[in-house]
Amino acid sequence: MIRKIAYFSAEIGFNERIKTYSGGLGILAGDTLKSFADLGVPVVGVTLLYKEGYFKQKIEQGKQIELADEWDPKKLIENTGKTVKVNIMGEDVHINIWRTRIKGISNRTVPIIFLCTDHPKNSSTAKEYTKSLYTGDRLAQEMILGIGGIRALEAVDYYKDVEVFHMNEGHSAFLTLELFRKLNYDEKAVKQRCVFTTHTPVPAGHDKFPYHIVNNHFKGEAKDMMPWKIKEYAGEYELDMSDLAIYFSRFINGVSELHGKVSREMFHNPNITHITNGVHSVSWTHPAMQNVFSKYIPGWMENPELLSQANVIPDGEIWYAHRQAKQELIDHIEREFPGSRFDPDVLTIGFARRAATYKNAMMIFERIDQLINIGKGKLQFIFAGKAHKKDQPGKDTIAGLLDIAHILKGKIKMVYLEDYNISLGKKLTAGVDVWLNTPRPPMEASGTSGMKAAHNGVPHFSTVDGWTIEGFKMATGGWPIVDIYDLMAILEYTIMPLYYNTRKSRWIGKMKASIVHGASYFNTHRMCKEYVAKAYKMKLSDF
Ligand SMILES: *Cc1c(COP(=O)(O)O)cnc(C)c1O
């Protein structure tokens, strides 16, 4: 099978049982590969195989507990039996190559290869390099992904046809050095083949490694892997993975219009452009809503742009599909919190995010007395989200939200659901009535959960950041938030009266606008077509 594009990502989340993702970045990568499969684009995905996943979250006594999230690759993906080696700190590390295929809607497939260092010949240290996501020796992980990834493509015979190497975030940037060596140290030849997508303006999202550590890790590969000009490529004082990726890429993009601009300033690089994110429409639309779409808009699965015709759907059908999704969510809450009795007739607001501080989960509770005043018995809140193991401020946010739930007791129902993952994400984005999003601009590069909500006719209530800037311009049916006073006023005087109006048609109009203007555009089919044309410089009709 000829593969013209290799898509490298440290996380790929496309199946809830294959735990090679932590959140937005991985799910975007999974959705992207699903759309490539649907569209028949000849891509191969490259990632790492983390046997303990990211982590499984439990909430106990007001705190997050992290457990290993083990899964059994043998049951879910195939061991190719092939191996490659990368020398790390003088040790030849053996890497097993696993593979699976994502099947697209017309039966075309996208293979994904997974690299795993759990090999009997490796030292105990090396065996653990790929044990879990975003922990352990990150530099070693990134050498395996970038350098090992190129070697693995060769071992399973995809390499020779690949014309474009797409780095989804800087974690895979060492692939440029391996290509540099293979292409006779011809910088231009590397640049012709590389494309880079940056995903966040948050500094912690850009890995940097001190050179004394880099030199030690690379000592076995050092002679040709750490070229004489590395500091020119990747930074004078530390090796910056994003700078390395940028140096060797002929096309660089951020993931929303605003993020493109923020990235041009951040990297002092006027050539950075943007391709706005999307979500895989079929994967994120509730089955009841899928049925409604299929009945009135045949062909929407192959071409989600057709969702712009959603105004033809009778109000009642949208409403009943939504009620079904909402009831399923309420049943899930009842299983997790017996006796909680969420009410299907009460306006339900959802918020599920990585508990990173810039996501500002506490914003809606800044004027809590006023909130109780206007919302008593008339609002329900559902929160979820993991904090990275080492993110103390993020953990404090979770503790803060649990305190709020306590304060609201008897007045406004609120739960914090454990272990936000793909399946919970599906339930939440389809089952709530309003999707709340309050990041501090301009820190949210794109955000994608609001796009999932839009596919289910769930309007977003959001600060103006990331994708929502474009969304609001397209009249996607949500409500923009400027500050807390604004938030409270919109909630009290616009959202609640609209929701509780006995004539539901105006509310359903908002739901439809989310589908017509949101889902029809903010999907990965549209996004992938942009990557093919603008980044890969290829034509869909050639595949
Ligand atoms: C969609 C999704 C995310 C990313 O959502 P954002 O809005 O970008 O924060 C993270 N985690 C899970 C489980 C998701 O489904």
pLDDT in tens, the chain (543 residues): 899 999 999 999 999 999 999 999 999 999 999 999 999 999 999 999 999 999 999 999 999 999 999 999 999 999 999 999 999 999 999 999 999 999 999 999 999 999 999 999 999 999 999 999 999 999 999 999 999 999 999 999 999 999 999 999 999 999 999 999 999 999 999 999 999 999 999 988 899 999 999 999 999 886 666 777 899 999 999 999 999 999 999 999 999 999 999 999 999 999 999 999 999 999 999 999 999 999 999 999 999 999 999 999 999 999 999 999 999 999 999 999 999 999 999 999 999 999 999 999 999 999 999 999 999 999 999 999 999 999 999 999 999 999 999 999 999 999 999 999 999 999 999 999 999 999 999 999 999 999 999 999 999 999 999 999 999 999 888 999 999 999 999 999 999 999 999 999 999 999 999 999 999 999 999 999 999 999 999 999 999
Spatial separation of the C-alpha atoms in residues 482 and 42, rounded to whole Å: 43
The CATH code of domain 5-278+526-542 reads: 3.40.50.2000
Report yes or no: 267 and 280 within 8 Å, Cβ to Cβ: no
Q: What is the number of residues in the chain?
A: 543
- Give pLDDT, residue 475: 85
Report yes or no: 193 and 179 within 8 Å, Cβ to Cβ: yes
Residue 73 CB less than 6 A away from ligand 1: no
Spatial separation of the C-alpha atoms in residues 7 and 527, rounded to whole Å: 15
- Between strands 43-48 and 109-116, the pairing is parallel
- Give pLDDT, residue 203: 86
Chain centroid offset of residue 333 CA? 24
- Give pLDDT, residue 204: 84
* Candidate of 279, 286, 354, 438 to mutate for ligand 1, largest count of ligand atoms within 8 Å of Cβ: 354
CATH superfamily for 281-522 is Glycogen Phosphorylase B; (3.40.50.2000)
Can you read off the two tokens belonging to residue 79? 């061991």
For the CA of 353, the closest atom of ligand 1 is 9
For the CA of 425, the closest atom of ligand 1 is 15
Nearest to 367 by CA among 242, 458, 492, 501: 492
Nearest to 234 by CA among 209, 253, 197: 209
Residue 449 CB less than 6 A away from ligand 1: yes
Residue 524 CB less than 6 A away from ligand 1: no
Report yes or no: 83 and 100 within 8 Å, Cβ to Cβ: no
* Candidate of 19, 286, 353, 417 to mutate for ligand 1, largest count of ligand atoms within 8 Å of Cβ: 353
Q: Is 56 exposed, middle or buried (0-12, 13-18, 19+ CB in 10 A)?
A: middle
- Between strands 479-481 and 413-417, the pairing is unpaired
Can you read off the two tokens belonging to residue 160? 């020779």
Tell me where in the chain the CATH 3.40.50.2000 domain(s) lie: 5-278+526-542, 281-522
Can you read off the two tokens belonging to residue 16? 């809830």
Spatial separation of the C-alpha atoms in residues 364 and 487, rounded to whole Å: 7
- Give pLDDT, residue 225: 67
Give Cα separations from 492 to 140, 152, 245, 274, 375 (angstroms).
Answer: 52, 57, 47, 36, 8
Residue 30 CB less than 6 A away from ligand 1: no
Report yes or no: 513 and 459 within 8 Å, Cβ to Cβ: yes
pTM: 0.97
Residue 200 CB less than 6 A away from ligand 1: no
For the CA of 426, the closest atom of ligand 1 is 15
**Ligand 1 centroid to 422 CA: how many Å?**
8
